[in-house]
Amino acid sequence: MAESCDLLVRADFVLTQDDERTVLPGAALAVRDGLVAALGPAERLEESFAPARRIDLGAALVMPGLVNACTNAGMTVFRGLPGNDAKNPATSILHDPRAATIAARIACAEMIRTGTTCFADVFAPAEVVLVAADESGLRCVAGGLLDPDANGDMEGAMEHPRLRRLVTAPDMAMAAPGELEAAFALSRECGCLFVVRTAVSARATTAFAARHGVRPLEFLRRQGMLAANTLLTHCADILPEEIEILAASGAAVVHCPRADARRAVGFAPVRSMLEAGARLALGTGSPRDAGDLNMFGEMNAAALMHKAHLHDPMAVRADMALDMATRGGADALGWPGLGRLAPGSPADFMALDLTRPGLMPLLNPVSQAVYAATGHENVLTVCAGRVLFERGRFTTIDHAALAAEAAELAALARSHAG
């Protein structure tokens, strides 16, 4: 007798990102209670399961939902500004509750549209971002700067199956004495991530060293703040001798190649970090810098930039970039099971339409996803077993209403610019 399941999705290919990085042709996924109940040959699963709903994607590549390990949803308001001038419109708009709400909603819609199912937001206001993520159906880990009253807020978010809290440390170059230590202590107390912008540029490193007598990474090591729950973002100015320290510490690094390129600060020595065994994830960083929250662009940049910089076509391979955007992101955020598709894993996945001319012909699914796909070929986004986007239609977001809100946001931005 066939087992019941909530959803059965079949496609020409399923890129599992399991331990063997298996690609299954003519496959299907059965989803039950928000988890992958089974995956394998489509005909076998059709016989084994009686789904409440069936989606036959045909010529499509199903793959794990992407994990954006570092972003700033509120900064969506600054998307498209020339250069890097965040003062026009005025940064005061970031404290406008209505503007923050609209920006967070736009960010969630963009990520759903391009196949991201989990993201970490490291900029205030966390509560607004968590609400937007919850309403849209995404997974989110969020937290602003150290808040003395944050403990109660964190406890509530920790109980939600899709929402978690983190502690964002103050900027290392400007933190008052004891602030970094207090932020780390709070993260330990709450059992959550400690996120710190580290070695974001040579200039920032020099300024920090002049003030503290040591480079940022060494400061964190001496203070015991390089730990498994530590998430270091950017790391564009890391010395070769620091890489081994980083890898041995168990801390994770979020590589933000496009944001760092836009800011002209260099970028993390990813190949050396991977060779040393460091934990690596990918993030878009701020849409003010990267231009968008599209992880396909981030994978592409990560795979290409290091090749050009090191004059080595194997510097960061496509499979490495995909790992950082899936399994690596899940590991960095401390969310086991995400970033891969296997029985028992969370049912978070997306699907690329292989009939799009830009994805024809399909010779290597991983290379196709990293080098050819833009993310807008996505035809299905599922998070925790719930369909959030299907064939051009959002199921949790009113796209027309959001477009109207975006116009309102632009007006708010102009008003704050004075």
Domain ranges of the chain: 3-64+340-394, 66-332
Q: Which of 30, 27, 3 is nearest to 13 (CA)?
A: 27
The sheet with strand 193-198 has its strands ordered as 66-71, 116-121, 139-142, 163-168, 193-198, 230-234, 252-255, 279-282
- Side-by-side strand order, sheet with 35-41: 35-41, 23-32, 3-15, 49-64, 349-353, 378-383, 386-390, 393-394
Going from the C-alpha of 68 to that of each of 104, 121, 375, 390, the distances in angstroms are 14, 9, 13, 21
- The model's pTM is 0.95
pLDDT at 148: 44
What pLDDT is recorded for position 87? 47
From the options 2.30.40.10, 3.40.720.10, 2.40.100.10, 3.40.1360.10, give the CATH code of 3-64+340-394. 2.30.40.10
The CATH fold assigned to 66-332 is TIM Barrel (3.20.20)
Rounded to whole angstroms, the Cα distance separating 289 from 284 reads: 9
What tens-digit pLDDT sequence spans the chain (418 residues)?
Answer: 899 999 999 999 999 999 999 999 999 999 999 999 999 999 999 999 999 999 999 999 999 999 999 999 988 988 877 655 544 556 678 788 899 999 999 999 999 999 999 999 998 689 999 999 999 999 999 997 655 444 445 555 567 999 999 999 988 878 888 999 999 999 999 999 999 999 889 998 998 999 889 999 999 999 999 999 999 999 999 999 999 999 999 999 999 999 999 888 888 999 999 999 999 999 999 888 888 999 999 999 999 999 999 999 999 999 999 999 999 999 999 998 999 999 999 999 999 999 999 999 999 999 999 999 999 999 999 999 999 999 999 999 999 999 999 999 888 888 776 5
